[in-house]
A and B are shown apart, each in its own frame.
Chain A
């Protein structure tokens, strides 16, 4: 068992919050954009 060494020298809470925000933006925004795009393509 080992701890995967962090590659960014940020404190753990900052890293977690930043990662969460980036994930929300990256995946969530892409998902919503895809949903809207599919809707537009469907009813266009």
Chain B
């Protein structure tokens, strides 16, 4: 037998019933064996063309199939659900395919339900898997990142400013709560560079002041990034000071 058979470590049975995991999938086999007469009955009912008989056989086979799938899944409460499904299916089959009176159908359905409850009570079941985690919200900086990537692959005269704005964007990404001057520099810089890049791509002759403007923008972006880092450094210094004072008060240092 393959290692995934007997040596499975996460199967519902393993370690409790001392049985391999694949055994769980065979829990419903007795139901299938008992339900074998429904198979020829179903085909004969098809030949007869009687809707009641066909419906009754389908109810029985569906009840048994659903119960088997619940038993094979073996999640918490599945054995009880399987019993209910089986009882309903057998009751309907007894009335429609077996031709019993309603009370007889109810009794046979209850027998099937009780039998499943007795046979499968106490079996090992696993907890249902946790619900899937919700998808993370889209990053608000993603559009800016895409625009900056387009600028970087655009006119090389705008590249220095685009690079510095990229650095500022990285700083902002690390501090999503940061707003104010840095974000304004980023928005204004990207908007302006996009417009300039558009004109340049349409063949405009750049004015002499363009390199100065690009340098100014790069410097402003660099300064904003440094300010963000400086604010973090300042906050850290305050934390260190507070902790030192606390330790001093407690007499630890």
B64 adjacent to chain A (CB < 8 Å): yes
Contacts of B47 in A (CB 8 A): 42
Known contacts A35-B37, A37-B98; decide if A22 and B115 are in contact (CB<8 Å). Answer: yes
Contacts of B77 in A (CB 8 A): 4
Q: Which of B56, B57, B90, B125 contacts A27 (CB 8 A)?
A: B90
Q: Chain A at the B interface: mostly helix, strand, loop or mixed?
A: helix
Contacts of B196 in A (CB 8 A): none
On chain A, the number of residues with a Cβ less than 8 Å from chain B's Cβ atoms is 35
- Please encode chain A, from 21 to 44, with 1 for each CB lying within 8 Å of some chain B CB and 0 for all others: 111111111111111011101100
- Please encode chain B, from 88 to 124, with 1 for each CB lying within 8 Å of some chain A CB and 0 for all others: 0010011001111000000011111111111111111
B193 adjacent to chain A (CB < 8 Å): no
Contacts of B90 in A (CB 8 A): 26-27, 30
User: What 4 pairs between A and B have smallest CB-CB spacing?
Assistant: A19-B119, A19-B118, A22-B115, A26-B111
User: Could you write out 22 A-B pairs with CB less than 8 Å apart?
Assistant: A1-B125, A3-B16, A4-B125, A5-B121, A8-B118, A12-B122, A19-B114, A20-B30, A22-B114, A23-B116, A26-B90, A26-B108, A26-B115, A27-B86, A30-B94, A30-B98, A30-B112, A31-B41, A33-B99, A33-B100, A34-B38, A34-B57
